[in-house]
Amino acid sequence: MGRAFFLSCEIWRSANKVSEIIREISKKVDADTLEIAPFSDGIDDIGIIVNCHPEGNMRDGWGKPRKYINYVKKSADIRLPIPYSMFVSAEYEDQYLMVVKNIVDSIRVISEKCAKSKRARFDSEAFVREFLKRLDVSEDSLRTVVGVIPDEEYRKIMRPI
């Protein structure tokens, strides 16, 4: 059996800091032992893949957002894109917070989808609190951080004027 909480990334080579940050976060939160069960009824494992690709690559099909829950297998697969240009031009501390924010936003997607389907329950806020506590990151430090390209911005990228 694999990890209940799995973090990874799909990135363009110049965004390689995402991979380093994911490894650091996985160690800090002890992803090998972080359990989902106390926060969920119906979701046993979560995979979060942080995407970071230039807009041109996104139009070519790289880094597509994915918000998928398989209620039969009790698993979630969430892949949300970080704004590439903003990420690669940021200082490491800001990049780190962008990745954390992407993961937090991904976690919240799971409870939204569960609430809509009513086929599972997931307490994302309690899970986020535990996740951030393990990282020693405050919720306030993420308030102004952009960690995900909003859906409407993504649609504009995919259909340039």
pLDDT digits (tens, 9 = 90+) for 47-105: 999 999 999 999 999 999 999 999 999 999 999 999 999 999 999 999 999 999 999 99
Q: Average model confidence (pLDDT) for the chain? A: 94
Write out 86-106 in H/E/C secondary structure: HHHHCCHHHHHHHHHHHHHHH
Give the chain's radius of gyration (CA, Å). Answer: 15
Amino acid at 71: Y
Lowest mean pLDDT, pick from 87-91, 100-104, 111-115, 156-160: 156-160
Q: Please give the model's pTM, rounded to 2 decimal places.
A: 0.95
For the chain, which domains are there? Answer: 5-153 (3.40.390)
Asked whether 42 and 76 are in contact (CB, 8 A), the reply is no
What is the pLDDT, as a whole number, of residue 2? 65
Q: Look at phi and psi of residue 118 and say left if phi exceeds 0, alpha if psi is from -120 to 50, else beta.
A: left
Structure tokens at 132: 């951030």
Strand runs (DSSP E) across the chain, as ranges? 5-11, 40-41, 45-52, 66-70, 75-81, 121-122
The predicted structure's pLDDT at residue 161: 63
Confidence (pLDDT) at 93: 97
Percent share of the chain, pLDDT over 90: 92
Query: Residue 14: pLDDT above 60?
Result: yes
Pairwise CA distance, residues 99 & 88, whole Å: 12
